[in-house]
Amino acid sequence: MKNKIKAIIVLVGFTLIGQVYAEQPIWSASGLKMPESVEYDVKHDRYYASNMNGGLMEQDGNGSIALLDSKGKLIDPDWVSGLHSPKGLALHKDRLYVADVKQLVVIDVTAAKIIARYNADDSKVLNGITVSEHGKVYISDWFGNSIYTLDDGELTVWLANDALESPNGLAVNKDYLYVASWGKNLKEDFTTETSGSIKKISLATQKIETIMPERWVNLDGISLYGKDKWLVSDFINGDILLIDRQGKIEKNIKIKKGTADFYHIIDKNLVVVPLLFDNQVVAYKL
């Protein structure tokens, strides 16, 4: 994710348990600025995308949130500006939570303006974000092997453990937090010593369970898919994968390198994917 890295173009395809089909997105939107995450707003039937617009850790003030309509038309690439290098997004009760380097930023989506900023000065790179049904916010520190929560107006470390192995995307459901791990010992060139994996963490005990995929991955986004299955994005290989409890890959949407933190709309069976290197957001049917 360095500045001015060019996209590596690969064949777009759809893989279903040994069968390959040529498949094009049902819609695509261009004109974004290194989009890293997408969030769907069911109330307003629209999408938000985070524009890094620069380096991974740069606090340069030129990041923004883009607005797209329900059919993927880009309405405003800089719908809300004044961010640095925003990544993960999560929406809860008209509040859009944004992981922005060393800050958690809160946007009122009705007013389209920033209403709060919470600092995490000791963090390295805040990245993935999720909100529980009760409104508890969880944020991953990708390089810091930590997970933060927002408590009483402060970002505090909920869990710090090297076993998180570069936590990126997050998803929470009832008693567990699920983590898309990039891999052990993340380096400045984004290579790792080990494959990434899925972490299943008990909210009560913080016990970490690892689901290891059947091939090498560097995971970015994650979403639950039924019982003990997950959709994940493999940023480096450029895939959206459906992985089961044993780590078997059941489905594989082959897209492009730079496939980042997607959004899965369950009732539409739709996966909306930011392509960071291509400055696009694309949508696929599962």
- Neighbouring CB atoms inside 10 A of 44's CB total 15
Domain containing residue 118? 87-285
Is the pLDDT assigned to residue 265 strictly greater than 50?
yes
Summarize pLDDT for 215-228 with one digit per residue, the tens: 999 999 999 998 89
Instruction: Quickly state the pLDDT bin for 14 (edges 50, 70, 90).
Output: very low
Is the pLDDT assigned to residue 5 strictly greater than 70?
no
Quote the mean pLDDT of the chain.
91
The answer to the question of residue 244 being in a domain is yes
For residue 99, give the nearest of 133, 146, 42 by alpha carbon.
146
Integer Cα distance of 258 and 46 in angstroms: 23
The answer to the question of residue 229 being in a domain is yes
The answer to the question of residue 125 being in a domain is yes
For residue 79, give the nearest of 116, 42, 111 by alpha carbon.
111
Please tell me which residue, 7 or 194, carries the higher pLDDT value. 194
pLDDT of residue 196: 98
Q: Give the chain's length.
A: 286
Summarize pLDDT for 109-157 with one digit per residue, the tens: 999 999 999 999 999 999 999 999 999 999 999 999 999 999 888 899 9
pLDDT of residue 153: 84
Domain count, the chain: 1
Is the pLDDT assigned to residue 8 strictly greater than 60?
no
The answer to the question of residue 150 being in a domain is yes
Tokens encoding 150? 């927002």
Find out whether 79 and 67 touch, Cβ atoms under 8 Å: yes
Is the pLDDT assigned to residue 19 strictly greater than 80?
no
The answer to the question of residue 34 being in a domain is no
Find out whether 29 and 280 touch, Cβ atoms under 8 Å: yes
- Extract the runs of DSSP E, i.e. beta strands, from 225-279: 229-234, 239-244, 249-254, 263-265, 270-275
Find out whether 37 and 49 touch, Cβ atoms under 8 Å: yes
Is the pLDDT assigned to residue 3 strictly greater than 80?
no
The answer to the question of residue 50 being in a domain is no
The dihedral built from the CA positions of residue 34, 135, 150 and 119, taken in this order, carries a sign that is positive
The answer to the question of residue 248 being in a domain is yes
Is the pLDDT assigned to residue 22 strictly greater than 50?
no
Summarize pLDDT for 246-259 with one digit per residue, the tens: 999 999 999 999 99
Task: Give the CATH number, domain containing residue 134.
Answer: 2.130.10.10
Integer Cα distance of 89 and 99 in angstroms: 7
Find out whether 273 and 282 touch, Cβ atoms under 8 Å: yes
Summarize pLDDT for 51-103 with one digit per residue, the tens: 999 998 889 999 999 999 999 999 999 999 999 999 999 999 999 999 999 99
Which secondary-structure segment (H or E) carries 193?
Answer: none
Is the pLDDT assigned to residue 104 strictly greater than 50?
yes
